[in-house]
Amino acid sequence: MASLAVLLAFLAAWEWLPALARIPEFILPPPSRVWQEFLRMIANERLWYHTGITSLEVVVGFLLGSLLGIVIGFVLGMAPRAELVLSPYILALQIAPKVAFAPLFVMWLGYTVYPKILVAVLIVFFPVMVNVLTAVRTVDPDMVNLARSFSATRWQVFRMIEYPASLAPLFSGLRIAATLAVIGVVVGELVGGNLGLGYLLTYGEGQGNTAMVFVTIILLTCIGIVAYAGVVLVERRVLHYMPRAQHATV
């Protein structure tokens, strides 16, 4: 209830204060103007189609990047020598600006959805991988030694000790990755493409249509919120046995 009151107060201030301060609508359009532009874009700009394209890219990029991060995180966590060999290259890939890769992907794959998905995969991969790697490396060695004393195989140690211990950190990384996936897709769409909300963002900027830019930003925010909420929902189902404080969301 308090959050709703804050939202209503914010919308009221946004609606009336710019006019009182004589700020032109083309600089800061009020919510009523943004709503009108939203309805116009539904009718004339295929808004839902572009929103669906961006949402699909976010979901695919998030799933692929997360899967890659999980696999490599477990592999490096269980094989210290592999981490020693590969970690400099993974770190270099993370340090390199992702925006710089987007034009390269466009030149390779054209103005399709694939460059956007690849940028999202690059951004999503690292936080998931780091969280999984850290979780595997911090498993209680006494638990591992106890399992081995009962002749547990390497697979049994992983399945019964390392994997369960990594779930909470994994979902922490997935929550971060869910929001980063939206950023990655938008970066790809801004660099090149004629589909998606990133394209509409560039189109609105070129027209000087501030209300259109606001509509696009709000929809991108909604996609990020839905993605984050989806991860939280799955986390609560998977980690239902843990105290709420151990996997609470921000």
pLDDT, tens digit, 9 for 90 and up, residues 104-130: 888 888 888 899 999 999 999 999 999
pTM over 0.95: no
Tell me the three state secondary structure of residue 21: coil
Q: pLDDT grade, residue 242 (50/70/90)? A: low
Tell me the three state secondary structure of residue 80: helix
For residue 249, what pLDDT is reported? 45
Under CATH, what is the fold of the domain 38-240?
MetI-like fold (1.10.3720)
Radius of gyration, CA atoms only, the chain: 22
**Is the model's pLDDT at 212 over the cut of 60?**
yes
Residue 214 DSSP symbol: H
Tell me the three state secondary structure of residue 182: helix
Q: 65, 177 in Cβ contact below 8 A?
A: yes
Residue 158 DSSP symbol: I
Mean pLDDT, residues 225-235 taken together: 94
Q: 116, 57 in Cβ contact below 8 A?
A: yes
Residue 246 DSSP symbol: G
Name the amino acid, one letter, at 84.
L
**Domain residue limits, the chain:** 38-240
pLDDT, tens digit, 9 for 90 and up, residues 80-107: 788 788 878 888 877 888 778 888 888 8
* Residue 155 or residue 181, greater confidence: 181
d(CA 199, CA 204): 9
Task: Return mean pLDDT, the chain.
Answer: 87
CA angle 197, 198, 202 (to 5 degrees): 115
